Structure 1
Amino acid sequence: MSLSYSATAAVTRAGLYRRIWRWHFFAGLVCVPFIFSLAVTGAMYLFHRQIDDLVYAPQMLRAQASDNMQQPSRLIAAALHSYPGRPKALNLPEDDRHNAQVDVILPDGSTLQVFVDPATAKVAGTIAEDQRIMTTVKHIHSLAIAGDGGKVVIEIVAGWIIVLMSTGVYLWWPRGRRVGVVSIRPGAEGRTWWRDLHAVTGAFSGIVILFLALTGMPWSVFWGANVNAWLTAHDLGVPNGMWRGVPKSTLPAGALGELPWTQQQLAVPESDDPHAHHKAVPHEASANDYVLLSHSGTASPDAVVAQLASIGIDRGYRLALPRDPRGVYSAIRSTGRTEDQRVIHIDQYSRNVLMDIGPERIGAIGRITEWGVSVHQGGEYGTPNLLLMLAGCLALIALCISGIVIWWKRRPTGRLAAPERRNSDQLARGVVLIAVVLGCCFPLLGASMLAVLLLDTLIAALRRRPHTNYQ
């Protein structure tokens, strides 16, 4: 009886192993191009500031470091004098090495980033916003370059990374073995060496890769958007109570530029002035009279910047300018450590602070999510954070390459060589439960898993037909 039971258990384990290996194989084969792209572009974007400084040094870096600074309105006027248009935002540098950046909307609707020396108000150069190298890298990373359809694909792939790491752990589990588990076995060659490299790399980097996949989800087009909305609705992100007495526009905050994740779907407040439609606003002014805007009844950028400095926001932020007579000034600090992130909306007439949102005013789950996003980008803990996330990206690249090499060395010429599926192979209840939970937590992943299951079942049924081979 015991021998029979042991034999049955062994057959069951072998069948489960084959099923999990098959799913790991197909998921990896289909997702490898996207995962490789995510890893390469992610590694690059971790160092986007350093790359920008290297590529765009003439525009971004000052000829001579200085702590002197012209009035903000002078910097904006200098940009408009050289490149007429509508000023969109002023980016004040966080150190004395960098130029200020004025975003100007040109007559054709495109945005030009104009870099101005803060000490001399001289234009150092320009970059077209949509042609900036790291902007392109970011769009490739999220597949935004392919539109919403590309974003959906990346969300599904991120979900499948979780599946790949989970199934990979099962396939790697020692089961009494010692060789090829935590180190490449001595003397290993060919496919064995690549298989050991794949297993050991996954074992040591799995937690970091899972973290990258999970903390990348907040940017996703379906899961991220819906979770963001749910957190806000339940006061777990930015509390709805902060809107009491504050007029709300139809402009989404995301239009102001890069924002902390919890605020990307919020509306922008409105300035409150009964005669607003009679007054000039900054984006309608020419370079010659931009510095005189305070006489029109609106607060000048100089006054707003001074006001922000008085409450501790003195450099290293983006000041989005009012877009129309109801618009507001919005000071945005969204990079670096979570505790330093802050968004302040100021009435353009009264200079009243309409909303001041820092991490202490965000719900617990929202703060945890913001922390995860910051660590994902390498901004929370300095250089060690950057290097750890870089290690995760490099490990993903190694897993992609080694996985393809293993398959290529294993496959007979002209065949796919997928792991065999037998009709008797069953999935354990625990595995099914994990799959169901993942599918419910990440709906696009769940839908794709169902599609794969149906396809695999269909292929198995067709293979049982005589004279048909889909292996």
Structure 2
Amino acid sequence: MSVEESTAREPAAPPQRSEEPWWPALRPLVRRLHFYAGIFIGPFLVVTALTGLLYIFTPQLERAIYDHELRVPPSPVTQSLATQIEVAREALPGAELTAVRPAPTPTDTTRVIFDDPDVEGSYYRTVFVDPHTAEVRGVLETYGSSQSLPVRTWLAQLHRNLHLGEAGRVYSELAASWLWVVALGGLLMWVRRKRSSARSMVAPQFRGKGRRRVLSWHGSFGLWACAGMFFLSATGLTWSLFAGENVTAMRSALSWETPAVSTELPRPPAGDVGFDQVHAAAIAHGITGSVEITAPGDGAYKVEQTERHWPTQLDAVAVDPAGGNVVEELRFADFSLIAKLARWGVDAHMGLLFGLPNQLVLAALAIGLAATVFWAYRMWWLRRPTRGFGAPPERGAWRRVPGRVLAPIILAAAFIGYAMPLLGASLLLFLAVDAVLGARREKGV
């Protein structure tokens, strides 16, 4: 009898946690988490990807659908803002004026924004005025600081909450919370996978069939998309329902908030020079291009740039209504690095920062993400027995992880679960379901 045969017949000794290399011990745990998280979060990721894909090209949709409201023939004659505001008031009698966005080019309309009591939340009624003739080109409902028009707003809310209100935001937060987890787990398993050539790591197999071929497409596409997945997860969480509040609290505690120009005055203004003189004062201080002039109320006017394409232009000034002089200014160059990164991250996530190239990258990422999820479910189906569904990786993998590796993982999971409540709650649900299924299997139920 050979030594190999003798060894093969002897019962294997139980693995020693302290002596086992960290990755072979950790891999089954990562694989099991990747499996359960992928099965659970896959539908949410697909919906997020497809609704995001629809949203990406809304700037072009807006220009096509609302061309009459947005564009006018150029002319050397320009009416005063006061005149344009007056005709806008006639179009919406009784509405409270909120802000004005003067036409940035001779072919653009002026937006006169009203706070309509019949419209809730961050919705406004905006009158579009020809700056050359003072003709009202249309009245539309707009949303938020971006002044999204109806089609863009509808698609944005579809992506954000499926038009289910605040409760619907749970779906998108679950997707953002788990996306980086499944991406990281998949990346670790794919990079450390044994293979015959480096090419098979970065390119899919065009020949062959079955689960191995599907895995090559799933893994290679996931590898190329990983950086984008991490980015979308991080930026998506910043305005999520629960984790977003924790992000805001952390930024506040660390003084990383986005600064804002103050419009407070030592005393109520004694007069009002009007929007035209305020606009001129802002231009004299370099606040040019696309700007929004916010009505003063009991304080100063605020004039802020609104250009969210690269290079970002978000300089702002406060102008005293009484004398038309600038009393405070804020430059985007003076923002903290974190505030700049937050601004750039959100704008890139929305496809605005770098224009069409930004949109094309996001579109490719959305399609790639949906395809990667499809291949994951395909592998699960191919792995199934003759009857039933595909089996998950073996249970109890965590017992083989070295303590020096397992302890930091547990601590990190607890911290992340606290910071991202939906991730933490769903992880606990995974563990509970897994324990119940394991107990039933041991009892032969």
What TM-score do you get using the length of structure 2 for normalisation?
Answer: 0.81
Offset of residue 29 of structure 1: 2.1
Aligned length: 419
Residue of 133, 137, 142 corresponding to 1:129: 142
1:461 alignment counterpart: 439
Residue of 31, 39, 50 corresponding to 2:41: 31
Going from structure 1 to structure 2, the CA distance change for 1:462 and 1:215 (only over 3 Å counts) comes to: same
1:150 pairs with 2:161: no
Offset of residue 42 of structure 1: 2.6
Offset of residue 34 of structure 1: 2.1
Check conservation: 2:287, 2:315, Cα contact below 8 A: no
Residue of 203, 210, 220 corresponding to 1:200: 220
Q: What amino acid maps onto 2:161 in structure 1?
A: L
Aligned mates of 1:413, 1:72 — CA distance in 2:
74
Aligned mates of 1:21, 1:88 — CA distance in 2:
54
Q: What amino acid maps onto 2:342 in structure 1?
A: T
Give the secondary structure class of the aligned counterpart of 1:79: helix
Check conservation: 2:291, 2:303, Cα contact below 8 A: no
1:307 alignment counterpart: 281
Offset of residue 11 of structure 1: 11
Aligned mates of 2:211, 2:364 — CA distance in 1:
24
Aligned mates of 1:416, 1:424 — CA distance in 2:
21
Aligned mates of 2:306, 2:88 — CA distance in 1:
22
2:194 alignment counterpart: 175
Offset of residue 53 of structure 1: 0.4
Alignment map for 1:186-265 (pairs within 5 Å): 186-189=206-209, 191-237=211-257, 262-263=258-259
Aligned mates of 1:424, 1:268 — CA distance in 2:
56
Offset of residue 18 of structure 1: 3.9
Comparing 423-432 and 456-465, the one that deviates more: 423-432
Offset of residue 166 of structure 1: 0.9
1:58 pairs with 2:68: yes
Comparing 158-167 and 419-428, the one that deviates more: 419-428
Q: What amino acid maps onto 1:443 in structure 2?
A: M
What TM-score do you get using the length of structure 1 for normalisation?
Answer: 0.77
Residue of 331, 342, 345 corresponding to 2:318: 345
- Residues 87-110 of structure 1, C-alpha deviation per residue, up to 9 Å, x if partnerless? 222223433332222222345346
Aligned mates of 1:205, 1:305 — CA distance in 2:
45
Residue of 87, 91, 104 corresponding to 2:97: 87
Going from structure 1 to structure 2, the CA distance change for 1:331 and 1:32 (only over 3 Å counts) comes to: same
1:440 pairs with 2:415: yes
Going from structure 1 to structure 2, the CA distance change for 1:16 and 1:426 (only over 3 Å counts) comes to: farther
Aligned mates of 1:144, 1:41 — CA distance in 2:
9
Check conservation: 1:334, 1:342, Cα contact below 8 A: no
Check conservation: 2:295, 2:302, Cα contact below 8 A: yes
1:288 alignment counterpart: none
Offset of residue 381 of structure 1: 3.7
Aligned mates of 1:60, 1:105 — CA distance in 2:
20
Offset of residue 151 of structure 1: 3.0
Offset of residue 443 of structure 1: 3.1
Aligned mates of 2:261, 2:164 — CA distance in 1:
26
1:164 pairs with 2:138: no
Going from structure 1 to structure 2, the CA distance change for 1:392 and 1:109 (only over 3 Å counts) comes to: closer
- Residues 80-132 of structure 1, C-alpha deviation per residue, up to 9 Å, x if partnerless? 21222222222234333322222223453463222111211111122223671
- Residues 319-376 of structure 1, C-alpha deviation per residue, up to 9 Å, x if partnerless? 2223x43474343425223642223333433445454333222223222333333333
Give the secondary structure class of the aligned counterpart of 2:238: helix
Residue of 244, 260, 264 corresponding to 1:270: 264
Offset of residue 33 of structure 1: 2.5
Residue of 369, 372, 389 corresponding to 2:362: 389
Comparing 3-12 and 334-343, the one that deviates more: 3-12
Give the secondary structure class of the aligned counterpart of 1:31: helix
Structure 2 unmatched ranges of 5 or more:
144-148
Aligned mates of 2:391, 2:182 — CA distance in 1:
16
Check conservation: 2:79, 2:134, Cα contact below 8 A: yes
Check conservation: 2:351, 2:359, Cα contact below 8 A: yes
1:317 alignment counterpart: 291
1:422 alignment counterpart: 395
RMSD of aligned C-alpha atoms? 3.5
Going from structure 1 to structure 2, the CA distance change for 1:67 and 1:52 (only over 3 Å counts) comes to: farther
Comparing 449-458 and 427-436, the one that deviates more: 427-436
1:376 alignment counterpart: 349
Give the secondary structure class of the aligned counterpart of 2:201: coil
Going from structure 1 to structure 2, the CA distance change for 1:109 and 1:394 (only over 3 Å counts) comes to: closer
1:100 alignment counterpart: 110
Going from structure 1 to structure 2, the CA distance change for 1:352 and 1:414 (only over 3 Å counts) comes to: farther
Check conservation: 1:184, 1:193, Cα contact below 8 A: yes
Offset of residue 452 of structure 1: 2.3
Offset of residue 162 of structure 1: 0.6
Give the secondary structure class of the aligned counterpart of 2:399: coil
